[in-house]
Amino acid sequence: MSDTATLPAETPTPAAAAPLRPTVAIIGAGPAGLMAAEVLSRAGVAVDVFDAMPSAGRKFLLAGRGGLNLTHSEALDAFVRRFGGRADEVGGWLQDFGPQATRDWAAALGIDTFVGTSGRVFPTEMKAAPLLRAWLHGLRQPTQAGAQPVRFHMRHRWVGWAPAETVAAMNSEAASAVAARASAVFDLQTPRGAQSVAPRAAVLALGGGSWPRLGSDAAWVPWLAQKGVDVAPLQPANCGFDVAGRGAPAQGDMGSAPARGDRSSASASAAPDQTDSPGGWTPYFAERFAGQPLKNVAIRFTGSEGRPFERRGEFVITATGVEGSLIYAASAALRDEIARSGRATFLLNLLPGRSADEVRAAVAHPRGSRSLSSHLKSRLGLQAVHTALLHEVLTPAQLKDPAALAAAIQALPITLCAPRPMAEAISTAGGVRLQALSDKLELRALPGVFCAGEMLDWEAPTGGYLLTASLASGARAAYGVLDKLGSAA
């Protein structure tokens, strides 16, 4: 990526031979790992950061291409609620390093921020590269009294654990010398060959499974499971979905969509006939409208567990389904419903700013010789993508029925059959279960090894929540390491 070209090169590493024995090894140079390194460096601890990629923070840079959303300006209690079932645990991290601390941290790096109209917080220049460049420079050449320079070892990929006999030999050596016992021994593949790393403490900040080409490939899952660490299966989060097509059956009362054969009300008459069909958008619709945004719309969804979701925003039609900010906001509920029931149906309101009476009157107005598309555009402002979507979902009979058409414009059932692959998702759910960690994020099964960031079992919507909590978890893990090192001194 071009933004990485001006970033400083990594610290040269000696030829692979004897095991490296850093005080603290951080494996993963994303936001969580870098924040852990900063906290430890400022405390005067020598830190070595290892990462498989050629440069640090590659996913961070990509996330900032369209404007780096650092955090959100809403009150802390509302911010914490965004983490759903993990709000209590994540809220503890955010007490130490929350949204305001994130802005203060950026300011200390010389990066001013502003609050956008949505409440999201961005760097004034919008870009991630200046912040990352200043951050890495400060880690390599700290100016605070007593701070230790952080050493970076890039293209160092963790490939598993050292054999038990190697660990035993190293710890036996440590017992009879000045070296401290290792928390664990990691085998890394480097440009110079195999390298063992035996730190006194380690922080794993390896990310989840999204965007694997940038380093988060989830290769760590079986290695932690091998050591008895409880890992929840990784799943896509903040992701797009494939549509099931007009003929796919709706799941009962999902999204308040009417059940098959129920034509007892105007809203029920808006649902398409549940006939057999291959599913997915038709080639006509996909070819002409993939990439088209649906702006200022609303979606409503109620899953089989009865929890409602309703929000206004925008999303994008894709070749196979839907994606974008409004879909991401509902993605956890939609994904979980698909896992439970095989499908999830939300109701799409194309005109949330209009009353039902207004829409009915406009649709029922005589259109003369005008096409339906021209009629809906002139009376309601619907564009070609809106009308095509109505054609995609409704039957010809429903399109000719003013009552059914008016109801569908404000409650069009869109049935989803699968989330997009995890590699395409913005983030992932699942990971190291929080019950497998102490409140300092130390693995119960591997004392001296801490975890942080997206590899933990939590998720949050887009809007700065993911990044802020990742930073906070890195800080929490680093404080845990400091306690560990202090108690072992």
Q: How many Cβ atoms sit within 10 Å of the Cβ of residue 85?
A: 11
Give the pLDDT confidence score for residue 439 in this predicted structure: 96
Separation of CA 483 from chain center: 30
Contact in structure between 232 and 218 (CB atoms under 8 Å) = no
Contact in structure between 364 and 406 (CB atoms under 8 Å) = yes
406 strand-pairing partners = none
**How many residues comprise the chain?**
489
202 strand-pairing partners = 25, 449
Contact in structure between 132 and 152 (CB atoms under 8 Å) = no
The parts of the chain modelled with pLDDT lower than 70 are 1-17, 166-182, 246-279, 487-489
Retrieve residue 181's tokens.
């016992």
Identify the DSSP state of 260.
T
Give the pLDDT confidence score for residue 26 in this predicted structure: 98
Query: Locate tokens 């005008």: which residue?
Result: 370
Strands 201-204 and 449-451: parallel
Q: What are phi and psi of 161, to 5 degrees?
A: -90, 150
How large is the C-alpha radius of gyration of the chain? 26
Retrieve residue 379's tokens.
């009376």
Contact in structure between 398 and 404 (CB atoms under 8 Å) = yes
Contact in structure between 154 and 4 (CB atoms under 8 Å) = no
Write down the pTM of the prediction. 0.85
Task: Cite the DSSP H helix spans in 253-345.
Answer: 266-269, 283-289, 325-341
Give the pLDDT confidence score for residue 256 in this predicted structure: 33
Contact in structure between 339 and 346 (CB atoms under 8 Å) = no
- Find, among 488, 435, 441, 471, the residue nearest to 85 by Cα: 435
Please state, in angstroms and rounded to a whole number, the distance separating the CA atoms of residues 354 and 48. Answer: 58
Please state, in angstroms and rounded to a whole number, the distance separating the CA atoms of residues 135 and 153. Answer: 16
Give the pLDDT confidence score for residue 163 in this predicted structure: 81
Identify the DSSP state of 354.
S
Query: Locate tokens 């951050």: which residue?
Result: 135
Retrieve residue 396's tokens.
């010809």
- Find, among 86, 447, 32, 418, the residue nearest to 215 by Cα: 32
Query: Locate tokens 């969804």: which residue?
Result: 301
Strands 47-51 and 113-115: unpaired
Task: Cite the DSSP H helix spans in 228-324.
Answer: 266-269, 283-289
Give the pLDDT confidence score for residue 63 in this predicted structure: 79
